[in-house]
Amino acid sequence: MKGCKALVIGGSAGSLDVLIKVLPELDTDLAFPIIIVIHRKKGTDSLLADLLSTKTQLLVKEVEEKEEILARTIYIVPSDYHLLIENDHTFSLDYSEKVNYSRPSIDVTFQSAAEVYGEQLVCLLLSGSNTDGVNGLITARNYGAEICVQDPSTAQVDFMPAQAIASVKVDHILSTEAIAAYINTLN
């Protein structure tokens, strides 16, 4: 897909290992932001951004309220907040009820991003052990977004990507090794 304006990556159990393998292989001149929603324990905020920043030359930072969304930046959603994308291409952090037992919820961010970016959005769902992200992918598909899922056979925990494949028309099923190359084609 050419003309990507945002890539949102969601994952849970097993997805951090994928990101650690993918980030070093990403082009540094990406013309879009990467927004990462990972289920994790409260209080581990800066540790994840710090860890991932050692794996790439791209700027990696934790999302801040009302921050402008910029290309060539990897944004990490803070633990214990839902992330919403506003029409003016800024972030909002939300502390409402958990969705699919999760805050941040992948569904919430996929849905919010789809409403703003529509056909210029790419969503990628990685390894995980619940169905968070599946409803968000369905919404994103309805807005014309490109839908990608990690190949369940390469996922540490295959439940989340397998549920997505069973529930929504997926454009690309990507092995862990193929994810970075695919992202680089979005430029």
158 is annotated as an active-site residue: no
Distance, in Å, from the CA atom of 167 to the CA atom of 160, rounded to the nearest integer, reads 11
Dig out the tokens for 75 from the structure. 């944004």
Dig out the tokens for 90 from the structure. 């800024």
132 is annotated as an active-site residue: yes
Which of 107, 132, 151, 158 is catalytic? The answer is 132
Q: How many CB atoms lie within 10 A of CB 117?
A: 24
Backbone angles phi, psi at 104, to 5 degrees: -80, 150
Q: How many CB atoms lie within 10 A of CB 84?
A: 18
12 is annotated as an active-site residue: yes
- CB 157 within 8 Å of CB 13: yes
What type of residue is 110?
F
Which of 15, 39, 151, 158 is catalytic? The answer is 39
Q: Please list the active-site residues.
A: 12, 39, 132
